[in-house]
Structure 1
């Protein structure tokens, strides 16, 4: 610096002495650095240093997210000066709202997320149009997204919002296929269908979102049968003429009771009583807590736990 010809000569000094030596630390990941900062702040606060006497100066705004998350997890109070928190930024709030809407598009809990992102970018939805959607949703007790197709809007707004709804539901369907989660009558969960042998031991499983029907799962499950059975027993959820015909075509006999609106069908009571073998199987599988609760996020890991439980049931005498 002293060799700079354009530099104005000056002498810099401090009146507070040398102070503490600078400590240089090196980290491989941003998260490691943030955790170390939070831990050091906690250590200094425990030794008597006041919160407002501690400052964190970061090089780039993108680093604020990792530092904020580390401070929140460590329960360290903080205030950002000259910037806004990562989760308080408009773009982040909009992204989270879109994800919330895609997670539960038909729940009233997603209405606030719809209000935030329905007109971002501009889709021609004004206060009048949003009010009409609100009224339709309230009258039919449905979500705002579901009310879009039920509300008369301007041509521009209607076309743009229909496309927006299509994109949101496409994201939801992709999530449902990956996680096999969906809204059923009772709760938000997964349907697990099983095919068992005559001794009540599991042969195969299939997963579907909670709102899906069981029938589309049956062809692949029947193909899992190691040999042609004399009888195939199922409950009313699998009652359909196509299902019975497929069972006949494979050389077996169906024992599936008819639904109320259907005509009479052959379903011997002595054969249908064997359904209790499946009920007993589920009772044994649900002794595994993970099978009964669905803690695993992806369908693959959940199905793996079910297979482990079924394998243990096979081994058990």
Structure 2
């Protein structure tokens, strides 16, 4: 069983929202699912998997600026703030803190619903610390 966890974190790297998809599903599906519940922010940092013109336009409609590097296969390269993109390590650190929980890291739960509930429990504790 393979799944992807899409997450939204605040500026301090604390988890806010999650969405889980099957492993073979595109990252655009997770982006579309999390787009509606995004809080107002000046910038959104994301990795290359979320690089799509429609996603950038949706962020602009919400009043956010995107800091997403373009995919290597993209015909027209996009510009992004490289110094700001280095702050994305906070998101990676959030995933690392989630994996400190053995149940999440080893994935004892085979049901996606139960696994997502274990992630939510870990996220509540991480958010409060």
Q: Tell me if TM exceeds 0.5.
A: yes
Larger relative contact order (C-alpha < 8 A, sep ≥ 6)?
Answer: 2
Q: State the distance in 2 between where 1:313 and 1:190 align.
A: 22
RMSD: 1.2
Gaps of 5+ in 1: 1-180, 182-188
Aligned-partner Cα distance in 2 for 1:293–1:313 = 18
Using the TM superposition, give the Cα deviation of residue 266 of structure 1 relative to its aligned residue in structure 2, in angstroms.
2.1
Q: Residues 138-179 of structure 1: CA distance to partner in whole angstroms, max 9, x if unpaired?
A: xxxxxxxxxxxxxxxxxxxxxxxxxxxxxxxxxxxxxxxxxx
Mapped to 2, the partners of 1:302 and 1:234 lie a distance apart of: 24
Aligned with 2:3: secondary structure? Answer: strand
In structure 2, the partner of 1:270 is 83
Q: CA deviation at 1:307?
A: 0.5
User: Is structure 2 residue 11 aligned with structure 1 residue 198?
Assistant: yes
Structure whose alpha-carbon radius of gyration is higher: 1
From 107, 114, 126, give the equivalent of 1:301.
114
> Would you say the 8 A contact 1:201–1:314 is kept in 2?
yes
**Per-residue CA shift, 1:181-201, capped at 9, x if unaligned?**
4xxxxxxx2111111011101
* Superposed counterparts of 1:253-292, under 5 Å: 253-262=65-74, 263-292=76-105
1:268 Cα deviation from its structure 2 partner? 0.4
Stretches of structure 2 that go unaligned for 5 or more consecutive residues are none
Q: Which runs of 4+ in 1 moved over 4 A?
A: none
CA distance in 1, matches of 2:33, 2:6: 11
| Distance across 1 between alignment mates of 2:32 and 2:21 | 14
Query: Deviations for 1:280-311, whole angstroms, at most 9, x for unmatched residues?
Result: 10111100012112221221111000011011
TM-score by length of 2: 0.93
Tell me which protein shows more helix as a share of its residues. Answer: 1
Whole-angstrom CA distance in 2 between matches of 1:224 and 1:204 = 8
**Do the aligned partners of 1:203 and 1:224 also contact (CA within 8 Å) in 2?**
no
More strand by share: 2
Look up the match of 1:313: 126
User: 1:243 maps to which residue?
Assistant: 55
CA shift at 1:214, angstroms?
1.3
Count of residue pairs the alignment pairs up: 128
